[in-house]
Amino acid sequence: MQEVKKELGDLLLHMVFYARIGQEQGAFTITDVLHGICEKLIRRHPHIYGDVKVKDEDEVKANWEQIKLQEKAAAGSAGGDADAISVLEGVPRGLPSMVKAIRIQDKARGVGFDWDNKEQVWEKVHEELAELKQEVEANSDRQAAEVGDVLFSIVNYARFLGIDPDEALERTNRKFIQRFQYMERESRKDGKRLGAMSLAEMDAYWDRAKQLPAEGQ
CA distances from 217 to 46, 86, 101, 171, 183 (A): 42, 44, 29, 12, 20
**Domain locations in the chain?**
115-163, 167-209
pTM equals: 0.70
* Residue 41 near residue 52, CB atoms below 8 Å: no
179 Cβ contact partners less than 8 Å away, ≥ 6 residues apart: 206, 209, 210, 212
pLDDT, tens only, 176-203: 999 999 999 999 999 998 889 999 999 9
| pLDDT at site 78 | 58
126: enclosing H helix or E strand: helix 118-137
pLDDT, tens only, 56-98: 887 888 788 778 777 877 776 655 555 567 778 878 899 999 9
Mean pLDDT of the chain: 90
Amino acid 77 reads S
